[in-house]
Structure 1
Amino acid sequence: MMWIYLFLGIYGLAMTFILLYSFAQANLLWHFFRFKKNEVPEASIFDPTLPKVTVQLPVFNEKYVVQRLIDAVCRLEYPSDKLEIQILDDSTDETSDLIRAALPNYPALPIHHLQREERTGFKAGALKAGLAASSGELLAIFDADFVPDPKFLLKTVPHFTDKEIGMVQSRWGHLNENYSLFTRLQAFALDAHFMVEQMGRNAQHAFINFNGTGGIWRKSCILDAGDWEADTLTEDLDLSYRAQQKGWKFLYRPDVVSPAELPPVMSAIKSQQFRWTKGGAECAVKHLKQVVKGPFPLAVKIHATAHLLNSLLFLAILLVSLSSLPVWWGFYQGLIPAEFFKAAALFLVGFVLIAAVYFFANLQLAGYSRKGFLRYLWELPVFLSVSMGLSVHNGQAVWEGLTGIKSPFIRTPKYNVTGKEKGWFGNAYHLQNVPLTAYVEGVLALFFLLVVGLSVYTGTYEMILFHAMLASGFGMVSLASFRSIGRPASG
């Protein structure tokens, strides 16, 4: 009997964490509606007072997208005498040759192809080395799969007339969101972050984060914050918190869109998710105590806590999922009073709040159209199911981040797939290994499917929807993981 209440306690604590997080999200949604545009008059390319800008392009083995990146960056509208382009090339394959071959096509632009002897510190190390060699007062950063707006600099640079502004972040767009179900679901999640979360935090002057790309920094801000550091897997989030703790202000421009490629296959999605999730947990260990003790308003501390701990949602989901089995059994056997289950209905409030966040984020981008509303109706349950299905993989990442287990920076492969006509088979960078978690996900999918069947057989329907979503989520993630093995990569 006692063990049933132990699992009921775990279930309740994990659901309470999710509920509290949903309250923080609801507050962001409120401030999302109160967000005031951060727009300023666009700069003129003929303005003699424009500061010098260094555009940094960190690249590592990106032969499929590097030409597109260079072409896009060279279309940036800005005086050439006040522009410096750094290609921070750590490549070990033919990418470096492709870069060298492309540079003569742009003789009028100051493009510097910088290569390090050792890839120390990975992306953070490359950015730090580039910073030391840069001549710009401002530094714009774009990852290899991005295609920046030609007017990006003219729209963002004017903000830096305010000497307290340290960074301006743009909104990510998606080059291939309609490529597959999984690219749609990634866009669904990212749009909620870039609409409700970034706008909601910025509206109340809470901590926001540089998203690793599609943003522009003041050089002195980076140096004042201690420069790039490679002790976490999310060097962008780490530097963001160090800079804002120093008093620098960040601005978010949702109207400036920087399109990028979404990972089209589960192995690449998991690689990216693992890095983001583990890095978020590492940053929580590194910064949470300082932020809570710092001289910041209570609302800022609360949102910073929710922000830094949001990766723990996957651990909470995993605990809820596993503990729900003995809880369900306890209700079926009459070992847990029905009043407990009725009280648990309170947790549905959290679901409603989370659903509202995704509703308004995605519907606003869709112009509140009928088509966007109908798409939301099927995307939300599928997204929630897949998020649950990723809880084993991402839960491992969170645990490693919290306990200090180190792992190398594994970048997400880029495929340059933007339409149905192009596939990812044969990509030289494609990750062929299937992680152990894929097998665990498959077993859990079968187990929860069995529980759904037992629920129908016994007439205990209280948790059947939740268990059905878990079965489908774990099943989809596991199956997609095995299917992403693909064909052998061609050189």
Structure 2
Amino acid sequence: MTSAGTPSGVGMGESVGPSTIWLVLAWTFDIVFVIQTVFLFLYGAQYWFMSISFWFLKAGSEERCYSDQSYPPAPPERLEPYLQFSDEEIQYPKVLIQLPVFNEGAICERLLSKCLELEYPTHALVIQLLDDSTDNTPELVKQFLALVAPTKFRVEHVRRENRVGYKAGALREGMRLEPDADFIAIFDADFMPEPDFLAYTLPYFYNDKHQESPYYKDKLCSKGVACVQARWDFTNRYYNLMTYIQAVALDGHFMIEQRVRTHLGYYMHFNGTGGVWRREAIEDAGGWSQDTLAEDLDLSFRAQFRGWQMVYVNDVLAPNEIPPTVSAFKKQQYRWAKGSFQCVLKHLGNVWRQGNLSLWRKYQCTIHLAGYFINLIMTLATLTSCVLFWYSDRVSTLVGNLTPILIFVGLGPTAMYFTCILSKKIIPWMEIATFPLLVLLGYGMAYNDTLAVLEGSVKKGGEFVRTEKYGLVDGSGASITMSGSSARVTNGSAKSVTPAPTSKARNALVTKFSDYMGATGTFKSELVFSVVVAALLCLHIVLNGVSDPGQLMWVSIFFSARIFLVALVWHERRQTISHSFRNSMDPAFALAPHDAASARITRSPSQAALANYDHLE
């Protein structure tokens, strides 16, 4: 036996002792940790690549790809013919506005009001409210439509007997009912499209400059533009710390990732809402499919496989609401993670079989599709770190040497989000201060998203769980109060209470502890996972101390993330924050005469945000 406690060798016929088994397990975990580090390195390098590519584009390197040095091409200042509502002799393309909703009566009024303000010829636009609700939303919609009748555009209130296919099924049914629509714009219930949204998105379907893009030059696209995706803006960015951090993260996704993918000719995806599709492209790609929960990502890749092009436009904004609570955020992320990994299993093979894609573009598609796989890797890294703590004095020297790589990985997302902030004309220094919290939120969500990835790997489709919407807008006078397991939305006084799902069988003390440790109590396994990691770490520190900073980093981030989520949940349960809300679920609001000035949301959130950004064009 060596001084380190490991066996010097095992002779013929000699039994294998506990030390040999321990050594084999030790090396096994070290190898697993190294493999995880390789995957983490690839994801971290991707963030660095996106950041560096963005700055090259800003410096004018797009000249290598685009003869006009500007792509996507900026649309005309205005589409003047689109404003001539009285001239019906001009042949305008017919546009179908699809609004899929489910039990969202509180904000359907606002959604319909904003869509009725769109600038487009009356005879060439139809609004479909695809209402699968099981509550009193249909009655509220009927009341609102009766109050505003006659409406500027034809409004169809579409009801289905069941929720077959969920959102994808509703969109498919809506298309069947309007077979002559040329273009289809999609907005979720919390979106507030600007009046000139169509005037600034439709030109991209007709602008010949898109043929200067890498899609055409590299023979990736042969059928034109399938979809134009606008940049999301956020009506409740400053509502609380939770929404502010999410806004910073989503800004990075849209302003850096989507932008770079469009400019370099990589596959990108429609974000599910806030965009316009060409009907021909949807049908050519096979239509909306319900075998994944990410119907937007699924259709985007199928369309691009068929030779269609996706365009992201940074200067067209689509204001919407960010989930203001941890529970709502976790539900949304769970659905996105599960659906994304279902698309990995469905499309990854097709990606690598595409003969017109270079090896680098195939790699980019893989990283794009498997974005949520990083959460599984981080969760496994936490568990293996806890195990490696127990024998770090034996064989984990190699793991300790990987610490610089882990630091490189950790700085990747920071570099991309910092790049996003620096691209704004007015640098919001508070966003820089949120970087550590953004890391903690992402790491704290790793286990939640890991469960989603695992479920998505073994199960097709699934229930489309709606993210709660409250109609929040920064800068007005109503509030949402989290108390215990319910969310109370008020406008100066209590107006309505929407109870969250609870189990009466659970002890109240256990419920509260589960809410705080698991951040919602949604997954009992998350609580068990947290307790097991805590027990392993604390026991080892008490017995042996700490010897490996690399392993300590992962576990320290894990506990910091748990504490941060607990603090957010505590804040939600105990604090009341005043912000804008118009609650049309209350009969007093639904039946009262609607004043156009008070019912209309101002354009200031979107326009103010647009003024703060610099543009590639």
TM-score by length of 1: 0.91
**How big is the shift at 1:292?**
0.9
Instruction: Please list the CA deviations of residues 12-57 of structure 1 after superposition, one character each: whole Å capped at 9, or x if unmatched.
Output: 1112111112223333333333164422113122463431111110
Instruction: Please list the CA deviations of residues 384-418 of structure 1 after superposition, one character each: whole Å capped at 9, or x if unmatched.
Output: 11211111111010011112265311111111233
Q: Which residue in 2 is equivalent to 1:432?
A: 501
Letter in 2 for 1:211: N
Instruction: Please list the CA deviations of residues 182-231 of structure 1 after superposition, one character each: whole Å capped at 9, or x if unmatched.
Output: 11121122111111110111111111110000000000110110010111
Report 1:416-431 matches (<5 A): 416-419=471-474, 421-424=478-481, 425-426=487-488, 431=500
The one of 211, 227, 234 equivalent to 2:271 is: 211
Letter in 2 for 1:330: Y
Instruction: Please list the CA deviations of residues 75-126 of structure 1 after superposition, one character each: whole Å capped at 9, or x if unmatched.
Output: 1111111111111111121111121122241523211111111211110000
Q: Which residue in 2 is equivalent to 1:86?
A: 128
Letter in 1 for 2:122: S
Q: Which residue in 1 is equivalent to 2:431?
A: 375
Q: Which residue in 1 is equivalent to 2:11?
A: none
Q: Which residue in 1 is equivalent to 2:470?
A: 415
Q: Which residue in 1 is equivalent to 2:321?
A: 261
Identity %: 33
Q: Which residue in 2 is equivalent to 1:357?
A: 416
C-alpha spacing 1:249/1:429, structure 2 compared with 1 (3 Å): farther
Q: Which residue in 2 is equivalent to 1:131?
A: 175
Letter in 1 for 2:203: P
Which protein is bigger by CA-based radius of gyration?
A: 2
**How big is the shift at 1:326?**
2.3
Letter in 2 for 1:160: F
2:153 maps to 1:117: no
Report 1:90-101 matches (<5 A): 90-101=132-143
**CA distance in structure 2 between the partners assigned to 1:482 and 1:411 by the alignment:** 23
The one of 561, 574, 588 equivalent to 1:473 is: 561
Asked if structure 2 preserves the Cα contact closer than 8 Å seen for 1:43 and 1:157, the reply is no
Q: Which residue in 2 is equivalent to 1:40?
A: 75
Letter in 2 for 1:375: E
**How big is the shift at 1:360?**
0.8
**How big is the shift at 1:330?**
2.7
Q: Which residue in 1 is equivalent to 2:358?
A: 297
2:405 maps to 1:346: yes
**How big is the shift at 1:458?**
4.8
Q: Which residue in 2 is equivalent to 1:140?
A: 185
Asked if structure 1 preserves the Cα contact closer than 8 Å seen for 2:546 and 2:552, the reply is no
Asked if structure 2 preserves the Cα contact closer than 8 Å seen for 1:202 and 1:252, the reply is yes
**How big is the shift at 1:177?**
1.6
Q: Which residue in 2 is equivalent to 1:220?
A: 280
The one of 200, 204, 209 equivalent to 2:260 is: 200
2:295 maps to 1:238: no
More off after superposition, 408-417 vs 474-483: 474-483
Q: Which residue in 2 is equivalent to 1:180?
A: 240
**How big is the shift at 1:160?**
1.2
Paired residue secondary structure (1:263):
coil
**CA distance in structure 2 between the partners assigned to 1:416 and 1:452 by the alignment:** 48
Aligned residues: 483
Asked if structure 2 preserves the Cα contact closer than 8 Å seen for 1:438 and 1:478, the reply is no
Letter in 2 for 1:414: K
Letter in 2 for 1:291: V
More off after superposition, 225-234 vs 16-25: 16-25
More off after superposition, 346-355 vs 125-134: 346-355
2:372 maps to 1:311: yes
Q: Which residue in 2 is equivalent to 1:53?
A: 95
C-alpha spacing 1:339/1:413, structure 2 compared with 1 (3 Å): closer
Letter in 1 for 2:195: P
**How big is the shift at 1:144?**
0.1
Structure 2 segments unaligned to the other structure (5+ residues): 1-22, 63-69, 85-89, 208-222, 482-486, 490-496, 503-520, 576-584, 587-617
Paired residue secondary structure (2:488):
coil
Asked if structure 2 preserves the Cα contact closer than 8 Å seen for 1:447 and 1:471, the reply is no
**CA distance in structure 1 between the partners assigned to 2:105 and 2:532 by the alignment:** 38
2:25 maps to 1:3: yes
Paired residue secondary structure (1:54):
strand
Q: Which residue in 2 is equivalent to 1:168?
A: 228
**CA distance in structure 2 between the partners assigned to 1:202 and 1:262 by the alignment:** 24
Asked if structure 1 preserves the Cα contact closer than 8 Å seen for 2:118 and 2:196, the reply is yes
**CA distance in structure 2 between the partners assigned to 1:227 and 1:438 by the alignment:** 37
More off after superposition, 455-464 vs 214-223: 455-464
Q: Which residue in 2 is equivalent to 1:28?
A: 50
CA RMSD of aligned residues (A): 2.6
The one of 376, 384, 402 equivalent to 1:323 is: 384
**CA distance in structure 1 between the partners assigned to 2:237 and 2:378 by the alignment:** 26
**CA distance in structure 2 between the partners assigned to 1:150 and 1:171 by the alignment:** 15
Instruction: Please list the CA deviations of residues 299-347 of structure 1 after superposition, one character each: whole Å capped at 9, or x if unmatched.
Output: 321111001111101000001111112223333xx21264541244233
Letter in 2 for 1:137: D
More off after superposition, 81-90 vs 399-408: 399-408
**CA distance in structure 2 between the partners assigned to 1:166 and 1:360 by the alignment:** 29
Q: Which residue in 1 is equivalent to 2:335?
A: 275
Asked if structure 2 preserves the Cα contact closer than 8 Å seen for 1:441 and 1:477, the reply is no
C-alpha spacing 1:409/1:230, structure 2 compared with 1 (3 Å): same
C-alpha spacing 1:66/1:451, structure 2 compared with 1 (3 Å): farther
Asked if structure 2 preserves the Cα contact closer than 8 Å seen for 1:67 and 1:102, the reply is yes
**How big is the shift at 1:364?**
2.2
2:214 maps to 1:153: no
Letter in 1 for 2:288: W
**CA distance in structure 2 between the partners assigned to 1:481 and 1:438 by the alignment:** 15
**CA distance in structure 1 between the partners assigned to 2:361 and 2:409 by the alignment:** 21
Asked if structure 1 preserves the Cα contact closer than 8 Å seen for 2:274 and 2:318, the reply is yes
Letter in 1 for 2:406: F
More off after superposition, 469-478 vs 422-431: 422-431
Runs of 4 or more above 6 Å deviation: 482-487
**How big is the shift at 1:440?**
3.0
Paired residue secondary structure (1:416):
coil
**CA distance in structure 1 between the partners assigned to 2:306 and 2:498 by the alignment:** 39
C-alpha spacing 1:112/1:472, structure 2 compared with 1 (3 Å): same
**CA distance in structure 2 between the partners assigned to 1:481 and 1:280 by the alignment:** 27
